[in-house]
Structure 1
Amino acid sequence: MKHNLLITRPNFDVTTRYLFVWAKKIIELAEKKCGKIFDLKKQRANRKEFESVMRKHEPGLVFLNGHGDERTVAGQDNEVLIRAGENEEILKAKIVYALSCRSGKILGPYSVKAGADAYIGYDEDFYFLYDNDKQSRPEQDKTAEMFLEPASQVMVFLLKNHSPQEAHINSKKSFACQARKLLTSSATSLESSAVKYLIWNMQHQVCVEK
């Protein structure tokens, strides 16, 4: 069965610009693997439109990109899309991946308690480094790729019909693999410093299920 996919892609600062561009790869894969794709990008990544599309089309997969905290995930200009204790029931019967800081700590468990099938996210901040010279061309930034490629594996595996737990495990393996590659004598100082953040992201990615 092909799931419909809803993806949020705010784009208003350096962090969201990178997530916006990197999520295009997921959309390209989803075009081959999914039913309908609802791409809430830039100004469309607002709460009113998010809730409307969620209720009208009931996508089985939800990919949230943006800033967040323990209780929320935000969209364009940091407008809160979902807040624990307020509207998490909108994720009922959905598989969710939030590429966002800290929402796996409280919003994730709240969402599953409200009926979400699974919530994959991070229970602390998500870190990535980037090349200042590539800010206008995130897709060419090899530094950011070290972090965003492993993070994107959650959606890659979900779109290939793996279970949430399998997607979570494979993403963590990808972070670990990237860290091992950098622990070599040929690694640059920047690459070596990236290792601690890769391990951090790996350790703090969580999968909450029923």
Structure 2
Amino acid sequence: MTSSALDQPATRAQGLKAVTAAAHGRLDQAIMAGQPFESRERYGRLLAVQYLFHRDIAALYGIPALAGLLPDLQGRRRLDLIAADLADLGLALPDAPAPALDAATAVPTALGWLYVAEGSNLGAAFLLKAAAGLGLGEEFGARHLAAAPEGRGLHWKTFVAALDAVALSPAEEDEVARGAEDAFARVRAHVADIFG
């Protein structure tokens, strides 16, 4: 039986969502198993995971080819906000392995990793509400979870529209998907290291 056009995702973002659904679910389960909103100490561990992942992708925000493809790429960077959140809680920056990516990262791979980073921002509204239970918010301890000035939905739609508009070969499409899967795996590795 052959697949029909109806079986194919309409957009690259929809395809990435389908390809990474299992990895995304496993990551969510691993994070919530760590009970990150049980206490500020445990939330600090979540901040450490976030810091390590955003440090992994920090070099991507300086790649000129990506800046030409994605709107406000530099403004989407959250590493400094996470560092400020850690400082609010009196926590040091976590010991970090070498970043997973550098400025020589291929554009398709980078797009996959950035898809994961931007998607996590879309889902941060739930985390921000949970952080409020610990007395944290957009001004203290949970800056990196704040919505963009234009709102989460529009911020995500703008990113997705740009992501979907990039012209890629079939091989490059595979690289994007692999990049997204690798990003989810990297965050899960950080969760395992930090939460144990």
Of Structure 1 and Structure 2, the greater helix share is in: 2
| Higher RCO, 1 vs 2 (CA within 8 Å, ≥6 residues apart) | 2
Q: Same fold per TM (> 0.5)?
A: no
Max radius of gyration: which structure?
A: 2
TM-score (norm 2): 0.30
